Amino acid sequence: MRRRSDWGILAGLFVVLAVATVYFSTADYRRQNSNQPTTYSADKPGTKALYDFFQQTHLYVQRFEQPYTRLPADGGLLVAAEPFAAERDLQQGEQAALTAWIRNGGTLLLIASPDYKNHGIGIDVSETQGADVSRIVPTAHVASPYLEGVRSVWVEGSLRLRPQAPNAQTTLASDGKGGAYIVTYHQGKGVVVVTCGMPVTNVALKQADAANADNGLFYNKVASAATSSGRPLVLFDEYHQGFGLEASAQRSLWDAVGAAWRGAFWYALALFAVLVVSLNRRFGAPIRKGAPSARPSTEYVASVAGFFQRAGAADIALETIYHDFARYLAKQSDAPPDAPSERVAAMAARRFGWPAEPLTALMSRCEQIIEAEGVLPQSQNVTKQANPRRLQGPELVRIAQQLQDYRRRAEIARAA
């Protein structure tokens, strides 16, 4: 018990050490992601508020944790919020895949940030000096499904959008000085919508609602217009926020899981090696287990025989022992319960490979003694010791030992 307890404590320490390694190794990763616009965070600049808002409006919302090369055909809207994680910028083939997905009918909602990288959509972003204020701006008077019922939006910050093709790109909200907050344009069958200065955190949406602005309604109109029965999904890009396994031919799974999980694997492997080595060696001299003290069954038979002899009932003892033996032997030999002793002995001899004559003689002797004791006149004035037909103790022990020996041999043969 002490050895098991020691190993339990050792295993527990290894588990605690592995968990601590994973926790502290991923602390920087968690802090980094807390500053990412991810739906897993409700803090600024997280997008969980917009994610929950879309769910409440009964849209089919999913977190998309794969590269753009795997965008599904039933995706109607892709919400991509900047900045992307440093290690998850667009890889080779993703820009072309995103463009093809939009041209086939998808809608991209890009929430720009100061780290905006254009991504080939033809819209620049710049900082406007001295304009870092929060205010309500009216929407443009243009025909757009995104502006149905949307009269104004609440904006903040000094970031502005600068369309590169004003004739093909429509500004839906601007600062009146050439800077835009919302720009949209068609690309093939799909649409690109870019916003800036319109954060989607819980606090920002509540501030907009308190100011009677229509930020939430605008985003809902974009999602409703982008989805249909053939494209019902609203996808939030989490892959470029650092979530999901990186799909790169140049990185193996071992590299993708990160240093924390690799460290945990090595700890687990070391624990397994220690257990294998330790559990297969002795920590001391072997302790021999003594043989159990068991008395032979013949001793029990002899003692019972002596008891019946002192009580003057040796014949009753033999009758009890023999009838039990006869029933047992008939059952093991598949003999009928009422079969005569000669038949039982013959069937037992065939069943177990014994000579039939000694067993037949033994069973006949038992029946003769039982029958003789049963018909002895009780009025006959002779002592038990003087009666030559009376069963004596030594003969009872001998017969009982023989019956017990046959029973033991039958059990051994049946087990084999």
How large is the average pLDDT for residues 205-229? Answer: 91
Short-list 150, 146, 134, CA closest to 107: 146
Give the count of beta carbons closer than 10 Å to the beta carbon of residue 262. Answer: 14
Would you say residue 387 has pLDDT above 50? Answer: no
Query: Residue 159's pLDDT band (boundaries 50, 70, 90)?
Result: confident
Q: Which two tokens stand for residue 359?
A: 């067993």
Q: Picking from 113-117, 292-296, 348-352, 368-372, which range would have the lowest pLDDT averaged per residue?
A: 292-296
pLDDT computed for residue 377 by the predictor: 41
Distance CA 56, CA 333 (A): 80
Distance CA 182, CA 162 (A): 10
pLDDT computed for residue 43 by the predictor: 76
Mean pLDDT across the chain:
78
Crossing angle of helices 27-34 and 2-25, rounded to 10°? 40
Residue 155: strand pairing partners: 135
Distance CA 26, CA 219 (A): 34
pLDDT computed for residue 44 by the predictor: 73
SS (H, E, C) 79-96: EEECCCCHHHCCCCCHHH
List, in order, residues 6 or more apart from 229 with CB less than 8 Å away: none
Tens of pLDDT along 276-296?
777 776 666 777 776 666 565
Q: Picking from 203-217, 246-260, 277-291, which range would have the lowest pLDDT averaged per residue?
A: 246-260
Q: Which two tokens stand for residue 165?
A: 């093709």
Q: Picking from 35-39, 198-202, 375-379, which range would have the lowest pLDDT averaged per residue?
A: 375-379
Would you say residue 211 has pLDDT above 90? Answer: no
List, in order, residues 6 or more apart from 201 with CB less than 8 Å away: 42, 43, 44, 45, 46, 47, 49
Would you say residue 239 has pLDDT above 60? Answer: yes
pTM over 0.95? The answer is no
Domains of the chain, each with CATH number or no CATH: 37-241 (3.40.50.880), 298-375+383-415 (no CATH)
pLDDT computed for residue 165 by the predictor: 83
Short-list 398, 324, 327, 331, CA closest to 365: 398
How large is the average pLDDT for residues 139-145? Answer: 93
Distance CA 230, CA 395 (A): 100
Distance CA 135, CA 156 (A): 6
pLDDT computed for residue 237 by the predictor: 93
How large is the average pLDDT for residues 34-44? Answer: 78
For 276, the enclosing helix (H) or strand (E) is helix 258-279
Residue with more model confidence, 229 or 295: 229
Tens of pLDDT along 297-332?
556 655 665 666 666 666 777 788 888 888 888 888
Pairing mode of beta strands 135-138, 152-155: antiparallel
How large is the average pLDDT for residues 144-152? Answer: 94
